[in-house]
Amino acid sequence: MALQTLYQLDIAEGENGGKAEAVDDSEGDDRAFSALLIRGARENIAEIDRVIAECAEHWSIKRMAVVERNILRLAVYELRYREDTPFRVVIDEAVELAKKFGSEDSGGFINGILDRVYRMSPRALNLSAT
């Protein structure tokens, strides 16, 4: 749900040249979690896009496929701003989304970037210090 919403918002913003708004706060655990991810990714999009750009060698955010860009945004939000989901789960879920909704090479592309994102994250730095 979160990926679909971010995808739609990204497309709408590109077509309208501005900001689009849509966060569904409907009841239910899945919807509530999706709304949390959407809101978090959107509120931190400038920082998230900066992190992605740093880790995506030879790729600009705008050059990425819309689905890959938004999978990365969701995953980077979880890796950088939420500690309740293990990093391996975040990366595995992102790769699965990429395989399902992206191109043949999307899974490897997403995995490579998220591995770099994780290695430079405070979570990884804290683990390596112990």
Where are the chain's structural domains? 2-129
pLDDT of residue 16: 53
pTM of the model: 0.84
pLDDT of residue 129: 47
Q: Which class for 75: exposed (0-12), middle (13-18), buried (19 or more C-beta within 10 A)?
A: buried
pLDDT of residue 130: 43
pLDDT of residue 30: 82
Alpha-carbon span 3 to 10, nearest angstrom: 10
Alpha-carbon span 20 to 92, nearest angstrom: 29
CA 19 to chain centre: 18
- Cβ atoms 107, 99 nearer than 8 A: yes
Task: Encode the chain (130 residues) as per-residue pLDDT tens digits.
Answer: 999 999 999 898 765 555 545 545 555 678 898 999 999 999 999 999 999 999 998 889 999 999 999 999 999 999 999 988 899 999 999 999 999 999 999 999 999 999 999 998 766 655 554 4
pLDDT of residue 31: 87
CATH 3.40.50.300 fits 2-129, yes or no: no
